[in-house]
Structure 1
């Protein structure tokens, strides 16, 4: 089945590339010379198109930071986009659910799938630098309300030259819904098994006939029992977006959101020692693996503003400031696996206060077009950065022993305390990380076939640490350059080949203290990750087809036992091939598919036993095929199926333990009709139809092959989701 599935994903791509009958696709989205069009038209409410088979599968453009919106076919990056239509029609509710549709992305769980780190190409992501909302940095390790999104753009590449210092885990740019040209009044009522019910209102339009003042409001309330007996699921969202078209070519945007999510009664992480083999996954819906009063209580507030001004038809300025506060209160059950028979010891960690992240981010970009003789230049001068403040609880965590059991036949756990998740305890500022970058770049077009891109950023990084008395205990300042270059060749207007090189900066490691290390406390020079990529993109026959071959390496440091000096010595080297195919494959049949073949290795680690071994938690093969079909005679009735495959993954640094491969199947259907003259769409889906038991994420103890104790997190069992949307 694995072979058949991989073939099914890759076949449409190669068939379309070599088929002589493949028709020409729509050309890239035309850019209007009118400033009014570039500003005013920000959204659409075409109900029929949004619910048709394959709605949102094929996109014409992608947001590329300081480059702005670019035609997908013209960008020398491997990328994927998940659109609002896909989010709504697949009834997705979390970022981890969006990531499964892309073959190179995963959620690395940290206390659960909703508080993990998004990552691409098997590289661990950063808490702040790899994720953005409308181009401004946000916290990635907390729950995010996907109901407020217009789309999620993912660049599977090193992006330091464009966005500033970051992990080589790709860039995840969340784009919020904006005011609609026509009045939008959408109300969705939903159900999720076991018994969680939701109401979601999506409202948009303008306050005045001249369309100077636009609005978009999203309201969400979901509450009930989650997918496990005696569990709790509660989500509340208020998000607003306002556009003020001050004059033709000038727009001021203001966005704000408040999101609350409470999840209790779900299994926590399963940790295991380096010499314990990870057993097969237990039933994730067994309530005795969880404690009904333990879980996460997450609150996130976000405010941002952007000013967009067109100086003329060729030049524009964009400025933005964003602020976000994320509170994460956790009361976590952890199970330690004792042997391969599934015997476990269980404990509860009760924090004294919610951890708090605050991010203040900024961006300022000048974009323009100029000609020098026959050469066209698309120029960008940009600065972007953030200040990320960390707050920790002053009190110590309380730990309770919950006894031993077996994860295949677990006994109930008794509540050892008052059952409350502590949110409002005393905190102190424990750290502050800041960075700022200045980027200069040019995309030069020499003729209709040849073009080249070069971007260079200078970055400054500062880290500070503080004790509970507010005294600074450490500070480190770093700086460096990050280049990015690419050469593109248009074989035809619908077929582009490219080769690219990227060198990206990120903060260097800090030597441990109290271990006899000669340079203890020293922060090393910034790490430099490098990537080489060659790719092919095609917009043919109503489909976007992509292929990218890449080699990516990232250094890491550890203490050399020979001289007791902490220094850069090892490398993580990931090389692979990505294949994607999205769009209309046949009459009535649309696909959103991809497969990634990856060779993730750690080289020259702290121990010979972990050197030249597979990276923990990263599969050699990951693939996904989302297909939607409707009969030409009955386009309002759509059938959908999603098959996701993840290959086996190393479960420890020595590669003596493995997490098995898994395949999940989701089936759904939707029907669009009119009820009392109101356009109405009914959706129903069954996720994980076969009730597969699997490990969704393996979290390593470190990225340097230290041979520590990893943690594993379960994937969701079978569940039913249903909804009805009224377009008033």
Structure 2
């Protein structure tokens, strides 16, 4: 990959973006009559999810919104939601120059950014449980987003729901089950005012960035279209690493009195060269000191290329004034081709390690859908909102891999080695991988939301009948090896009371659902008594209580919770069975809004106590805290200074709790300046990430039961210029 000047494709995006500018300016002169503050906060005024309520409104400071979407329950506001939620805005992502959704969520005090096993997949740990990117929702549907990496330009909102949520969204289809929370991406829509937005940027090494965001709405406001094009390319601040990303998305929507339709299509291609791999520490060694963040332990012959083509269609129709039906469809084709220096394991205290070349091909074919009805009626003084929803999901996953002979190196003095060429072990054909796993899920859910006492008391009752099916096939022959087919009912209860227009308190009981294990035929103790038997889905149980405050400019949520997840093990008969519970208890505080005119804040703190067979859960820090401050400098219109401090407490890299990973903290600093240039608005941004250049292990694991370490990001300067026409 070549670093340097912008590529032809980047220039093409910019040229295409400029074509409609003159037309937009001529047809929409009212845009240029708006004041600077309005232009800086152009908001989407139409439905972003084909729902009658449309997109939630940004709160003071425009970093988070006043509500979000809650699966079968539809859209709701913060004070009306009996859960702990946060909805981050596109403006927040843009002002912090976030390249990925992960770089947005790293500022959430309850979310820890981690990595997948044997790849560079972004993983998000909430309340100590992982959420894989393919277990996130996009426009309300699972499995549609690219699996490895999610560009921030994809979204208008990133919505975080903390806690078990199998009833709300249905069981997540991936290996994580989203037991500790869910993350949803809301696609972009055309706002009321037409605009064209061009952004050019660079990082302190030689990484360059170009983006175009074009939006147009018809004269009658019924039809809107929004196009985003992005290219990032060049070397990063990690020695020898290069990255490239191309993204193109199209979002369209139509609405009439009774009908609302939205459609989204996207293509993303992410390429990594010589990226640092994860590090596993041998079981008899302490955690090594983290290498310098700009040093690269990756090999120059490693790479990862992930291409995804995806789309969704959502429609909502008012059958009668009291009855609404909706339909959603989605599909994705993913294609990943990678060579890793994998299974990297330290062998001594000096940082020596061994690793192997690992070639992987992974292809996904996902199709998913949802069908629902919602009605409102009264029984005496009680108002009911009754929702019925059916979901289906299917993914045919093709996989092949090949492991080559190993090599040795050192964490602190890495050198380039020749690419290993002797195959040792593999599965499938890298050129034509077979289907190795087919995952199918389906569910039927019923919810009744009751409003009592002049809408001060809100009760939510519901249940979801869920079926999980998984078919596993041999890598080489394609022969069926095992079938998992189980059904479970997940009930739900929540109550919320509004003490005043600004305060509410809530309690809830929710469950999570994860596919159970299939007992092997043998283990280290001999034949397994129930070999081949499939355990029922692991049904986690969560109880939670919280208090919320939402004033004119400042909001806060405090929540306490307990989650119990069944643990499987071998009993006295050497049979695989549920023998214990993994328990996570915690307290979370989040704060957001404008503390005083021109002073915005976003942050919070979370405390987590975990128990797994009498030990702390792997990769679950007891304390995590974030604090972001923005200051609009008095006397200099358009100038803002910002800072963000992140802290993650110590955590363990092994289930025995003998390998303790030190706590770490990071400080990001930034500034932006917005001004008018004739009929355009210009915004200049600069961000210094990891300003103090700390060396740290950023996360532990990500894949359940694995304790690999991920290196922290180096000090990086990011600058950009955005012009709104």
**Does the pair score TM above 0.5?**
yes
CA distance in 2, matches of 1:257, 1:518: 49
Q: CA distance change for structure 1 residues 41 and 386 in 2, over 3 Å: closer, same or farther?
A: closer
The residue that corresponds to 1:106 in the other structure is 112
Q: Are 1:172 and 2:183 counterparts? A: yes
Q: Is the counterpart of residue 458 in structure 1 residue 465 in structure 2?
A: yes
C-alpha RMSD over aligned residues? 2.5
CA distance in 1, matches of 2:332, 2:352: 42
Aligned: 1:693 with 2:695: yes
- Structure 1 residues 42 and 672 mapped into 2: Cα distance closer, same or farther (>3 Å)? farther
Q: Tell me, yes or no, if structure 1 residue 722 matches structure 2 residue 722.
A: no
Report what 1:382 is aligned to: 389
**1 CA distance for matches of 2:421 and 2:515?**
41
Q: What are the residue-to-residue correspondences of 1:428-439 with 2, within 5 Å?
A: 428-439=434-445
CA distance in 2, matches of 1:590, 1:677: 28
Partner of 2:359: 350
Alignment check: 8 A CA contact 1:587 1:632 kept = no
**Distance in 2 separating the partners of 1:157 and 1:165:** 13
1:296 aligns with 2:338: no
Change in 2 beyond 3 A, CA 1:249/1:451: same
Distance 1:517 1:613, change over 3 A: same
* Structure 2 segments unaligned to the other structure (5+ residues): 1-45, 423-427
SS at match of 1:266: coil
- Of the structure 1 ranges 591-600 and 290-299, higher mean CA displacement relative to structure 2 is found in 290-299
Return the alpha-carbon distance in structure 2 between the equivalents of residues 508 and 36 of structure 1: 36
1:69-99 CA deviation, whole Å, 9 max, x = no partner?
A: 1011110101122110011000001232122
* Pair 676,35 (structure 1): closer, same or farther in 2 beyond 3 Å: closer
Count of aligned positions? 663
2:673 corresponds to which residue?
671
Cα 1:456–1:41, aligned 2, differ >3 Å: closer, same or farther?
Answer: closer
Contact 2:66 2:87 in 1 (8 A): no
Aligned partner of 2:550 among 520, 531, 539: 539
Q: Distance in 2 between matches of 1:38 and 1:218?
A: 20
Q: Deviations over 1:612-662 (max 9, x none)?
A: 111111100001111111034334111110000000001211111111000
2:583 aligned to which of 573, 590, 596: 573
Supply the distance in 2 between the matched residues of 1:578 and 1:59 (Cα, whole angstroms): 19
Give the match's secondary structure for 1:397: strand
Query: Contact 1:636/1:673 (CA < 8 Å) preserved in 2?
Result: yes
Q: Does 1:145 align with 2:151?
A: yes
Taking a change above 3 Å as real, the CA distance of residues 82 and 634 of structure 1, as seen in their structure-2 partners, is: same
For 1:97, what is the secondary structure of its paired residue? helix
User: How far does residue 141 in structure 1 lie from its aligned partner after superposition?
Assistant: 4.0
Q: Deviations over 1:428-462 (max 9, x none)?
A: 00111111111111111111332211121111121
Q: Provide the residue aligned with 1:210 in structure 2.
A: 220
Partners of 1:529 and 1:57 lie apart in 2 by: 32
Q: CA deviation at 1:404?
A: 3.2
Residue 241 (structure 2) pairs with residue 236 (structure 1): no
The aligned counterpart of 2:40 is none
Query: Are 1:436 and 1:459, in contact at CA under 8 Å, matched by a contact in 2?
Result: yes
Q: Which residue of 1 aligns with 2:323?
A: 315
Residue number in structure 1 paired with 2:140: 135
Q: Deviations over 1:140-179 (max 9, x none)?
A: 7411122020011111011111222242121111111012
CA distance in 2, matches of 1:201, 1:700: 33
Task: State the partner residue of 1:414.
Answer: 418
Question: 1 CA distance for matches of 2:216 and 2:703?
Answer: 49
**Which of 447, 452, 457 lines up with 1:446 in the alignment?**
452
2:197 is the alignment partner of 1:186: yes
Q: Retained in 1: the 8 A contact 2:64–2:86?
A: no
- Once the two structures are TM-superposed, the CA of residue 383 in structure 1 deviates from its matched residue by 1.2
| Cα distance in 2 for residues equivalent to 1:358 and 1:455 | 32
CA contact (8 A) 2:246 2:269 kept: yes
State how far apart, in whole Å, the 1-side matches of 2:223 and 2:565 are.
Answer: 47
SS at match of 2:102: helix
Rounded to whole Å, the distance in 1 between the matches of 2:230 and 2:48 is 32
Q: How far did 1:101 drift?
A: 1.4
Q: What TM-score comes out, normalization by structure 1 length?
A: 0.87
| 1:300-699 → structure 2 map (5 Å cutoff) | 300-334=308-342, 335-351=344-360, 354-393=361-400, 396-405=401-410, 407-416=411-420, 425-448=431-454, 449-467=456-474, 468-515=476-523, 516-560=527-571, 562-602=572-612, 611-699=613-701
Q: How far apart are 1:67 and its partner, in Å?
A: 1.3
Question: 1:702 Cα deviation (Å)?
Answer: 4.5
CA shift at 1:510, angstroms? 1.3
So what's the TM-score if we normalise by structure 2? 0.87
Q: What is the aligned counterpart of 1:122 among 116, 122, 128?
A: 128
User: Is the Cα contact below 8 Å between 2:261 and 2:316 reproduced in 1?
Assistant: yes
**For the residues of structure 2 that align with 1:126 and 1:547, how far apart are their CA atoms?**
26
Residue 528 of structure 1 and its aligned partner are, at CA, apart by 0.9
Structure 2 contact 146–308 (Cα < 8 Å) conserved: no
Per-residue deviation, 1:105: 1.2
Q: Is the 8 A contact 1:672 1:680 kept in 2?
A: yes
Return the alpha-carbon distance in structure 1 between the equivalents of residues 85 and 267 of structure 2.
29
* Worse overlay, 617-626 or 106-115: 106-115
